[in-house]
Amino acid sequence: MKSLSQSVCITTALLFMASPINAATVTKVGTDVNFTYDDATLYGAGWVVGNKLFFLPTDFENESTDGSNPGVVTDTLNILVSQNTNTSFFIDSIEVAESGDYLLNGAGSSVAASLFTSVTSLTIGASPTNTVLEQTGTINSPQDGSTNLWNLTNTNDWAWENETSILFQIQNNLTANTTASGETAFIQKKNVPIQISVATIPVPAAIWLFGSALVGLAILKRK
């Protein structure tokens, strides 16, 4: 089994070897976990409150006008989530709850957003992966030029236990399509909160027995 420090070093190197030269690897410190990621993506810079990492993208969008086909706008963010050295909690699950807005104008206008996440363990040797895909499907209403909201929620709750370090990957695809002149389709991602849930590290039974024995001795001494 790799140590936590070995896993962090190896994984960080793999994460960012292929990153652009201008990429900046940052680490944000939470209450029980640390987040390490590249902030030179469409997700932008992030900040931490408690055990939650927030992103407010400003350029993660797609638009089609007058029958154009701009293709898919996509980006992937790799986040190393590691247990703080001073915490007494394991990493138990991770949840993403994204949101954004869209605008449709014209009978042939449509948009779509998809969310892909995966978790790879850096604590146990097997390195299992837990993957879920959430897809909104094609959104084609209302087509009156109004601004409306979309959201996606995804929870990775793995079966293995005693997790102290994971590689979390999140990928988003945004599409926008129109079929005729005068039509507009626009979609953007605006909010990406990533919430970590933690579980208390169980105290070994031997320690409980030892503590019980000490309590018993103390009671006898008082008597």
User: What does the block give as tokens for 116?
Assistant: 């892909």
Nearest CA-CA partner of 19 in 80, 81, 82, 77: 77
Distance separating alpha carbons of residues 199 and 96, to the nearest angstrom: 18
Overall residue count recorded for the chain in this entry: 223
Express each pLDDT in 43-91 by its tens digit: 999 999 999 999 999 999 999 999 999 999 999 999 999 999 888 899 9
Q: Which of 38-47, 89-98, 112-121, 207-216 has the lowest mean pLDDT?
A: 207-216
Express each pLDDT in 165-178 by its tens digit: 999 999 999 999 99
Q: Are strands 184-200 and 129-135 parallel, antiparallel or unpaired?
A: unpaired
Q: Which residues pair with 99 in a beta bridge?
A: 151, 191
Residue type, 76: T
pTM assigned to the model: 0.81
Estimate to the nearest angstrom the gap between the alpha carbon of 171 and the chain centroid.
Answer: 9
More confident residue, 8 or 101: 101
76: left (phi over 0), alpha (psi -120 to 50) or beta: beta
Express each pLDDT in 104-128 by its tens digit: 999 999 999 999 999 999 988 777 8
